[in-house]
Amino acid sequence: METLPLSGIRIIEPGQVWALPYAIAPLAMYGAEVIKVESTVRPDSSRGGPQPDNQVEGDAWNHGGAYHEVNRNKLGIALNLNTQRGKDLFKELVSVSDVVAQNFPPRVMRNFGLDYPELKKVKPDIIVLDSTAYGSTGPWQNYIGYGSSIQAVTGLTYLTGYEDGGPVQGGILYNDILGALTATYAILLAIAHRERTGEGQWIDLSQYQAGVVQLGEAFMDYTMNERIPTRRGNSHPNFAPYGLYPCSGDDSWVAITITSDAEWMNFKRAVGEKWVDDVDLESTEGRLHHREKLDASIGKWTSSRDKHEVMRQLQTAGVACGAVNNTREITTDPHLSDRDFFRISNHPAPIGPRPHAAPLFNLMGVQLPPDRLAPTLGQHNRHVLCDILGYSKEEYQELEEARVIGHIPDNQGVTPPPDPEALLRMGFLAEYDRDYKKRLGIYPGELEEKKEQ
Amino acid sequence: MSGSALQGVKVIDLTHHIAGPYCTKLLADFGADVIKVERPDGGDSARRLGPFPEDIPHPEKSGLFLYLNTNKRGITLNLKDPKGRAALLDLVRDADILVESFSPRVMPSLGLDYQTLKQINPSLVMTSISSFGQTGRYRDYRATELVLYALGGMAYITGEYHREPVKHGYNQAQYLGGMAAASGTVAALLQRWRGGVGHQVDVSILECVCSTLFSTVLDYTYTGMVSRRQPMEGSSLRYPAQTKEGYILPTPGVMGDWETYAEMAAVPELHDPKFDTPAGRQVHSDEVDSLLKSKWLERTAQEWFHHAQEWRFPFAPVQTMADIAESPQLRERGFFVEFPHPAVGTLKYPGAPFQMSESPGRNGQQVRAAPLLGEHNEEVFSSLGYSPQAVAGLCKQNPVPSPISGEG
């Protein structure tokens, strides 16, 4: 089997919550040896949820779904960086590693004496990525921000929403994930740079900047025309029809978008009703001019139809169309299933088998090994210290007794799981699907059946 | 400092619209030599999409195109013509990477599938960006930004409770696809540099959209809960609030306690045991909302932002593009770049998402403006040994740009 692109690269990840671990996840899948550094004092806060079946059992801090989504294929150690020996151990690890990627606010690693200038002394060609809300320099460098705050400063919130309404926050973790995808690229670039020149370097990633660069054309409108772009709902300035239309069933919608005259002719043929025959509608200009009337007619046509049926019919005719899916529909989507996008990992009880997403870039022809499960807290303390750093059994035990390393978090509580029935009543959920395991094909009994076939 | 990260890497760019050009922009801005191949009759479809100065369409003045194609050289080729195809194969012969963003059936129909290209250049990395990916039953379906937001689940959870779902502004899905593709391209390049062979990289924009749902997906796969657009009641701290000037996101975050929040906001009435817990604030949400609503109107969004940050609350102003253009943080970090272009003059553009200490790329002083249609025909083909007549015959341009058609 061909070696993986990142085999032999060792990455130290003192990362927390989702953004940074998410960035490193595909690198681990593609062969990097990733050592996640947590501490028993403050374990990764993503360990808590969602708990399998909303049941808090035993070492619940090892059961959280978000933790498993982003930390598969990594090694894990729990190291107390508040102690001098913990800091020394961290530096020892850096001296045999290639990349350190972290997302604490800038002052944290500086205060630990573990920022880039210090780590470079230990390993001259080390690559260090600091991912922060606003960047590690500048007047706002110490300001804090989460995904939702970042969405607001980048301009995305202002630009999202209905034509007649105020700004809307879309997907509160969106900018965390965007920051993560950006960090993945930055690290790969730095590895390429080192491969070519032998040099390490410091990457200063600002999630604020990572958001603004995805709104380039909105910025250009300001820079060219001194005009402040604003919200326009789902509509498109150049094309019509372009929108979401109601379908049969509760809160059920379909996207129909026509971006060429040829597509309009396809739509016309597929619908085959009198209202689409208007010659005025055969040009983009005409359709834009009659946008409102057209939207009303299309809405009337879709309202008695099933969204997936509309999608099938229009796509077959050559029209860009898609059902508005919820998370149940996505995780059971036949196309994503054809592509094996959600892959089942067999966690031990009480988690059991669960689907997790594949990397977003697929090197076709490179066979990925099966996923290794995310580490329990401190699971690889011994492996990392004894096998990688060469500590003796006695030295290891001593470090454990001195609580420099550990397995059990000081605070064992996890956020209490939500009450799905109450959330449903209050309108926060579309549905609470008690048969979800069956639908996802992760019922223990069902898996065995599949194996037998 | 030894040049930028991808210095010396040769990229043939067959992409158009947004996702593909953004991928190759990310490669070009960090040092790769990108040759953008456009069709002679009007070029990249992004040239026909705005914004334009004074809203007057012009193929060399699209803000979208100008932003997405910095640091690339541009040539024109008709790939359906045997001579054009042969010239492309000449270019592929000594390239490291080819990036394309056609619908998956197009490259094979041009006789340019990966297997064919690999025979010419066995170490070639070929990155293919498409809406649905190179495999699967929707492979040949059509998509636009809105269709991807619908199918990818992001639309369903975005917007107001009682209204239709709404997508994020502009073209987030396309950019996500470009970013993931840039990562895949460099990963495949590393694979080759480190002793492996070339590979085709498959990126599906739909999967990129799905991935941004993150915990919402896990709520289903771990517990069976299906999320939707949230009711506004009792949760105003999670939504933008109107201030004296602009909107503020007044989020208490996870660190701060309510007492401190009340003190920071200077609303003494909020110091009440009934508001102490999130559940209590939920029950008495009308009171909380009305107390704060008038308070926010006392200062501007920027004032609240700095004030709350001093108290360690992660408030954020809902910024417009004007706020961003004037942002002291971005200015001090040297984020923006300014450079001349023959058709639109000197303009200010957004720079890079991150700074690399040893790989400054071609940001800063050395930005090359987006290419005019066919600008580098002579330069590129004469370096391959083509005669001026051959170049002229190959790159004949249609002076009349084709009308707007097709988004993707």
A246 and A163: one domain? Answer: no
Residue A234 scores a pLDDT above 60: yes
Establish if A33 belongs to a structural domain: yes
Residue A453 scores a pLDDT above 60: no
Q: Give strand ranges (E) for A235-371.
A: 242-246, 253-257, 320-323, 342-346, 353-357, 362-364
Given a contact cutoff of 8 angstroms between Cβ atoms, the answer to whether B92 and B117 are in contact is: yes
Establish if A322 belongs to a structural domain: yes
Of A269, A317, A330, A258, nearest in space to B140 by CA: A317
Give CA–CA dist A24/A106, Å, rounded.
19
Given this model, what pLDDT does residue A18 score? 79
Cβ separation of B199 and A363 shorter than 8 Å?
A: yes
Cβ contacts of residue B331 below 8 Å, gap of 6+? none
- SS percent in chain A: helix, strand, coil, step 5: 45, 15, 40
Q: Which helix (H) or strand (E) holds B267?
A: none
Search chain A and give the residue with CA nearest B167: A234
Tokens standing for residue B42 = 């009007």
DSSP letters for A387-439? IIS---HHHHHHHHHTTSB-SS-S----PPPP-HHHHHHTTSEEEE-TTHHHH
Tokens standing for residue A109 = 């690693």
Q: Taking each helix axis as running N to C, give the angle between helix A261-271 and helix A307-317, from 0 to 180 degrees, rounded to the nearest 10.
A: 120
A204 and A285: one domain? Answer: no
Distance from CA of A304 to the nearest CA of B (A): 16
Of B136, B139, B84, nearest in space to B111 by CA: B84
Residue A382 scores a pLDDT above 50: yes
**Mean pLDDT of the residues in chain B:** 92
Cβ contacts of residue A250 below 8 Å, gap of 6+? none
Search chain B and give the residue with CA nearest A232: B169
pLDDT single digits (tens) B21-75: 999 999 999 999 999 999 999 999 999 998 999 999 999 999 999 999 999 999 9
Give percent of chain A with pLDDT exceeding 90.
Answer: 85
Residue B212 scores a pLDDT above 70: yes
Give me the helices (H) in B140-171, please.
145-151
Give CA–CA dist B96/A113, Å, rounded.
41
Q: Considering only the beta carbons, identify the residue of B143, B156, B207 that sits closest to A320.
A: B143
Given this model, what pLDDT does residue A452 score? 44
Establish if A228 belongs to a structural domain: no
Residue A450 scores a pLDDT above 60: no
A49 and A169: one domain? Answer: yes
What torsion, rounded to 10 degrees, do the Cα atoms A109, A154, A181, B148 define?
160
Establish if A51 belongs to a structural domain: yes
Given this model, what pLDDT does residue B234 score? 59
Tokens standing for residue A300 = 């009337």
- Mean pLDDT is highest, among A11-25, B274-288, B292-306, B362-376, for B292-306
A309 and A434: one domain? Answer: no
**Mean pLDDT of the residues in chain A:** 93
What is the pLDDT averaged over residues A137-163?
95
Cβ separation of A418 and B225 shorter than 8 Å?
A: yes
State the pLDDT confidence band at A40, using cuts at 50, 70 and 90. Answer: confident
Strands A127-132 and A201-206: parallel
Cβ separation of B51 and A26 shorter than 8 Å?
A: no
What is the pLDDT averaged over residues B95-122?
97
Instruction: Please report, in angstroms and rounded to a whole number, the separation of the first and last CA atoms in chain A.
Output: 28
Establish if A364 belongs to a structural domain: yes
**Domain end marker among A326, A360, A387:** A326
Cβ separation of A169 and B249 shorter than 8 Å?
A: yes
> Which DSSP letter does residue B346 get?
S
Whether A217 contacts chain B with CB within 8 A: yes
Residues 298-357 of A with CB under 8 A from B: 315, 318-331, 333-336, 338-339, 341-342, 354-355, 357
Residue B233 scores a pLDDT above 70: no
A319 and A207: one domain? Answer: no
Where in the sequence is the domain holding A290, given as residue range(s)?
242-326
Distance of CA B175 to the CA centre of its chain: 2
Give percent of chain B with pLDDT exceeding 90.
Answer: 80
Residue A79, φ and ψ in degrees, nearest 5: -130, 130
Residues 56-85 of A with CB under 8 A from B: 65-66, 69
A35 and A89: one domain? Answer: yes
State the pLDDT confidence band at A2, using cuts at 50, 70 and 90. Answer: confident
Establish if A333 belongs to a structural domain: no
Give CA–CA dist B175/B173, Å, rounded.
5
Give CA–CA dist B94/A321, Å, rounded.
40
Establish if A36 belongs to a structural domain: yes
Look at chain A and report how many structural domains it folds into.
Answer: 3
pLDDT single digits (tens) A162-191: 999 999 998 888 999 999 999 999 999 999
What's the ipTM? 0.96
A123 and A39: one domain? Answer: yes
Q: Considering only the beta carbons, identify the residue of A201, A238, A428 that sits closest to B359.
A: A201
pLDDT single digits (tens) A243-275: 999 999 999 999 999 999 999 999 999 999 999
A204 and A113: one domain? Answer: yes
One-letter-per-residue 3-state SS of A40-64: CCCCCHHHCCCCHHHCCCCCHHHCC
A71 and A110: one domain? Answer: yes
Give CA–CA dist A45/A15, Å, rounded.
10
Numbers of helices and strands, H then E, in chain A: 21, 13
Q: What is the CATH number of the domain that holds A300?
A: 3.30.1540.10
pLDDT single digits (tens) A291-304: 999 999 999 999 99
Of A44, A204, A214, nearest in space to A134 by CA: A204
Cβ separation of B194 and A335 shorter than 8 Å?
A: no
Give CA–CA dist A99/A123, Å, rounded.
10
CB atoms near residue B59 (< 10 Å)? 17
Residues of B with Cβ-Cβ distance to A186 under 8 angstroms: 353-354, 356
Establish if A30 belongs to a structural domain: yes
Distance from CA of A147 to the nearest CA of B (A): 10
Domains and CATH numbers, chain B: 10-214+328-394 (3.40.50.10540), 236-320 (3.30.1540.10)
Q: What is the CATH number of the domain that holds A42?
A: 3.40.50.10540
